[in-house]
Amino acid sequence: VKLLLVNPSTLDRPYPVPPLGVCRAATAAESRAEVRVYDAAVDGGEGLTRAVEEFGPDVVGLGIRNVDDAVMGSGAFFPEALRESFVEPIREATRAPLLLGGSGYSIFPRALLDYLGADFGIPGPAEGVLPDLLETLALGGDPAAVPGVLVRGAAPHRKRRAPPTAIPPADLWRWIDYAPYRERGAYPVQTRRGCRKRCLYCTYPLIEGAPGGGLDPGRVADELERVAATLGEVTVEFVDSVFNDPPGRAEAICREIVRRGLRPRLRTMGINPAGVTPELIELMRRAGFGQIDATPDSASPAMLASLRKGFSRRRLEAAARALRQAAMPTMWFFLLGGPGETRETLHETFDFIDRFVSPDDLVSLSGGLRIYPGTPLARLAVADGLVRPGDDLLVPRFYVSPRLGEEGLQDEVDRFLAGRFNCLRASEPGPSPEMLRRAADERRATGSSEPMFRTLLRLRRLGLR
């Protein structure tokens, strides 16, 4: 069987993201199929038809990572372009069945099958299910009989197949050209699948399934060595839901990196403030982290409880103090307007930013929570009358606390942002090409190795955009 996997994403904000999921699916499939990956980030999608015609696949798999950008008011809805620029050309070039998968797909398995008119889909991890599907197709069997495969128009299986616990390294370079990601992107490494947290709005438990044990630190370090040996100096990003969970895991990985004397450039967005200690920050710095993303969502005690974050304001303050004492550059992310948000709770978060966040650090404020099906937030949104029962939520809907309203939220955020140069809205357009160029020039001239966001913030303070 010949399987062509397609990464349709050319999104380059906040930076281009290599198609880790698609490459992992390719690795999972190669024992049962001849596999090729077409990555639209390389040529903007121009070579798609040629790639299909030349390879002559028996199955085409489309990896859907992003459905939208989860930003209220942006109007982004990617399935439309996906249908026009990928599904239609693929259908014209081949009669092979079209398979869907990916993290975005896994949130809307039924709705996206219908919207795109695809033949079948695999919600969740491809490992395990995809080889079974390929074997069945090779034997001329019925895909609807394969556990974990969803067929358009057919009833879903009761059982979902549990993925194998051992995760083989993706070795992206075997499948794609890394060039489009080298400058601004980061090489993704997943050390552990699943999440033990149950935040009110979050899809990760739906996408990744039950938490696994994860790779042992030696395997993680092996992967970093292999990446460096193959690609040279690239930034590596851990894409785990929460890198520092369970407690002690991140520390052990960092220690192994230090012990081997590796010198990687590392980042991760998955740091839970609850587990931030001076020891963890020191270990992360020694392992190669030049900055940390902190994602508390709120600093209001009531909102931390409402969003089910699992840590207290006091714990958050301790984490912020530790970050500042260690002078670790930090990007802070807040999600405002959740259930129960009022002017008072917003001010608790703003007060935290003023008192605990360094003015050299970046604060990103998101207003409105993207409502995803199957989450507790979706049930609340129905109860609050914000969403019709039965809405599949594929077209983005956002939750804003009825006690505040969208306008009230925008007003408060506007007022807070005025004069605070290090704070911005998540919906703000990214830095212009000129600003990026100017930042790069400045860094070259001064030999500065500070995080890029700090250089950009300084230019922003000078009035550049």
Closer by beta carbon to ligand B12, 99 or else 328 = 99
- The minimum distance between CB 207 and ligand B12, in angstroms, equals 4
- The region, left, alpha or beta by phi > 0 then psi within -120 to 50, assigned to residue 30 is alpha
Which structure tokens are listed for 399? 């939750």
Closer by beta carbon to ligand B12, 172 or else 319 = 172
H-helix or E-strand spanning residue 301: helix 301-306
DSSP code, position 173: G
Closer by beta carbon to ligand B12, 318 or else 331 = 331
- The minimum distance between CB 292 and ligand B12, in angstroms, equals 13
| Distances, alpha carbon 278 to alpha carbons 188, 251, 356, in Å | 26, 11, 16
Closer by beta carbon to ligand B12, 313 or else 368 = 368
- The minimum distance between CB 274 and ligand B12, in angstroms, equals 18
- The minimum distance between CB 215 and ligand B12, in angstroms, equals 12
Taking the mean position of all CA atoms in its chain, how far away is CA 203? Answer: 11
H-helix or E-strand spanning residue 237: strand 235-238
DSSP secondary structure letters along 59-125: EEEEE---SS---TTS---THHHHIIIIIHHHHHH--S-EEEESHHHHHSHHHHHHHHT-SEE--S-
- The minimum distance between CB 34 and ligand B12, in angstroms, equals 15
- The minimum distance between CB 367 and ligand B12, in angstroms, equals 13
Binding site for ligand B12 (CB under 6 A): 5, 9, 11-14, 16-17, 20-22, 24-25, 61-63, 65-71, 99, 101-104, 106, 122, 125-127, 130, 186, 188, 190, 203-204, 207-208, 237, 239, 241, 269, 370
- The minimum distance between CB 344 and ligand B12, in angstroms, equals 28
DSSP secondary structure letters along 273-297: GGG--HHHHHHHHHHTBS-EEEEEE
Closer by beta carbon to ligand B12, 13 or else 461 = 13
List the beta bridge partners of residue 99.
Answer: 61, 120
Closer by beta carbon to ligand B12, 222 or else 442 = 222
Place of tokens 């942002």: 417
- The minimum distance between CB 117 and ligand B12, in angstroms, equals 16
Closer by beta carbon to ligand B12, 236 or else 328 = 236
**CB of 79 within 8 A of CB of 91?**
no
- Residue number with the shortest CB distance to ligand B12? 101
The burial of 10, by beta-carbon neighbours within 10 Å (0-12 exposed, 13-18 middle, 19 or more buried), is given as middle
**CB of 414 within 8 A of CB of 351?**
no
Closer by beta carbon to ligand B12, 21 or else 296 = 21
